[in-house]
Structure 1
Amino acid sequence: MFPYTRRTFGRELLLLAVGAIWAIPFFLLVMISLKPSGEMLLDPTSPPKQLDTANFPQAWKGSAGVSLGEALINSVVITLGSVIALVAIGSICAYVVARRGGRMGAGLYGLFVVGIILPFQLGIVPAYAVLRQLNLAGTYPGMILLYTGLLMPLTVFLYTGFVRTLPKDFEEAAFVDGASRLQTFRKIVFPLLKPITATVAVLTGVMVWNDFFVQLIFLSGSKLQTLPVAVYSFVGEYISQWNLIFAAVAICIVPVLAFYLFAQKQLINGFTGGIK
């Protein structure tokens, strides 16, 4: 057991102070979202004297004919479909890259790293033209396909670092027993990738969920408005009613925050496993 010293106490106070600073935006978000409109205009930064929970039902109705409930469903479908595709394809691809030695494996890994470095905005116009030609623009499959391609380099990069830390003993034993490469991956390797799979799911899920630029471009004019685009339209209609805008933002962050709290243990294990 380590002795509890003044230095330890000082470190705890410092961490608590840093945590309090990070909590300030969330406190302001909740506080402003519960303020009445009149009080919001007079003193926006003070705590509300009277809580107005009616802001959330009004924000839930949305604007421009699209409710936050409909936008929430669209965001869930696109995010969940993209994460499933990234995990299914990225894990297999990373396994091949990690277990294939020589110049071929190093070259493939380098290509995925380059894909992370290059800005995806360079390919927005060609990607939009291809999806429109295939009648996939403004559809669930089109958005899932697009995000799968955009985030595949990051997914393979994370999975590859973790797969390289796994011992090959179990795989070799499975090969001796007559298992194929695919069976070995499905029954032996993939269960061992649970920590990094949670990391990939959280990171890519948050990226897709919070993305605004791609969704604004590819879903413009369609009925599949996601939460970031719906909130953007909401701001345009209620520009002077910031309590309603903050209520809409609070509704948008609740699902992804709940998912992160649920998977945070596996998220940390995935990072530490990859570092080892």
Structure 2
Amino acid sequence: MRNTRGVVIGGVGIVFTGIFFVVPFLFILLLASQDRVQSNELRFAWPRNFQLLQNIAQAFSSRDYLMVIAFINSVILTVVSVAAMVFLGAMVAYVWQRRPGRTTGAVGLLVLAGLIVPPAIVPTIWVLQKVGLFKTMPGLILIEIAYGLPFCILLFRAFIASVPRELDEAATVDGANPLQVFFRVIFPVLRSVMITVIILQSVFVYNDFQNPLYFLPGTQNATIQVTLLNFQSQFTTQYNLLFATILLVMIPPFVMFIFFNRKIVAGMAAGSVKG
């Protein structure tokens, strides 16, 4: 009886969760396929004239390649930021886990503070202006790294806690220095949790709207998410073009989720064994 009740409750939860995520996606797909007149009604209705491909082509031609530039900016931002998070997060987590002490304890407090303390926009802009990185891609990359690094460090540290210390000791006995121990012994072992970090942070940085809006203003440096806002302000009544563009923006994270959702769960579970 209890098992049946649990199955029923779980099934209902899955149905409601599916509706919660599927209905907005269908709404976007339907409006992206409608003509201009019908899309202005913003109704959940089947398109009278199915023109999804025409809307996508018109959206890109209307922006004078600005969407292409924005997509390239988003790819550069995501790749560089996530690569730095992986290497820096893994190294900091390794030292934090393997060499406990006052210094590493202070580092741990800073990492936890990075997760708890909310970001201060105005002081951050002032600092970027003083160092000459405001309205630049390197400045935004540093912001993304700073915001995402605490989570990466904690995830790597939880996984490293499950790695036997005998591996470090054996490599040290063989004559490896600390850098060789990390890159040749520990870093290859972090593959599962590394994939999780890459996928989660890539989706977060790619979909980030707030940081590019504040720290990288301007149409030429805009990322794909900020460009959607500019697109809507310029074509306030052409919702079919706006939703067609949104549909294209959703494709990369959606594809990553389809192919790597099991690896995300596996990486999160692997880091929860110890620590």
So what's the TM-score if we normalise by structure 2?
A: 0.89
User: C-alpha distance in 2, partners of 1:136/1:154?
Assistant: 24
User: C-alpha distance in 2, partners of 1:222/1:9?
Assistant: 51
CA shift at 1:154, angstroms?
A: 1.8
Root-mean-square deviation (Å): 2.2
Aligned to 2:16: 18
- Tell me, yes or no, if structure 1 residue 163 matches structure 2 residue 160: yes
CA shift at 1:136, angstroms?
A: 2.4
CA shift at 1:16, angstroms?
A: 4.8
Task: List alignment gaps of at least 5 residues for structure 2.
Answer: none
Aligned to 2:110: 111
Instruction: Encode CA deviations 1:219-264: one digit per residue, 9 max, x unaligned.
Output: 2136211011100001101222222111111111111222233332
Aligned to 1:83: 82
CA shift at 1:62, angstroms?
A: 5.4
Instruction: Encode CA deviations 1:100-138: one digit per residue, 9 max, x unaligned.
Output: 124443332122011110011x1x333323333333222
- Contact residue 66 and residue 220 of structure 2 kept, 8 A: no
CA shift at 1:9, angstroms?
A: 6.2
Task: List alignment gaps of at least 5 residues for structure 1.
Answer: none
Aligned to 2:28: 29
User: C-alpha distance in 2, partners of 1:209/1:149?
Assistant: 15
Aligned to 1:96: 95
- Tell me, yes or no, if structure 1 residue 262 matches structure 2 residue 238: no
Q: Which moved more, 1:13-22 or 1:105-114?
A: 13-22
User: C-alpha distance in 1, partners of 2:159/2:42?
Assistant: 51
Q: 1:138 aligns with which of 124, 132, 135?
A: 135
Q: 2:187 aligns with which of 187, 190, 215?
A: 190
Equivalent residue of 1:48, what SS?
Answer: coil
Runs of 4+ in 1 over 4 A off after TM superposition: 5-9
CA shift at 1:69, angstroms?
A: 1.2
So what's the TM-score if we normalise by structure 1?
A: 0.88
Residues 207 and 9 of structure 1, relative CA distance in 2, 3 Å threshold? closer
User: C-alpha distance in 1, partners of 2:62/2:272?
Assistant: 43
- Contact residue 62 and residue 230 of structure 1 kept, 8 A: no
Please list, as runs of the form range in 1=range in 2, the aligned pairs for 1:169-248 lying within 5 A after superposition.
169-221=166-218, 223-248=220-245
Q: Which moved more, 1:186-195 or 1:254-263?
A: 254-263
Equivalent residue of 1:275, what SS?
Answer: coil
Equivalent residue of 1:59, what SS?
Answer: helix
CA shift at 1:184, angstroms?
A: 1.1
Q: Identity of paired residues, percent? A: 30
- Equivalenced residue count is 269
CA shift at 1:28, angstroms?
A: 1.3
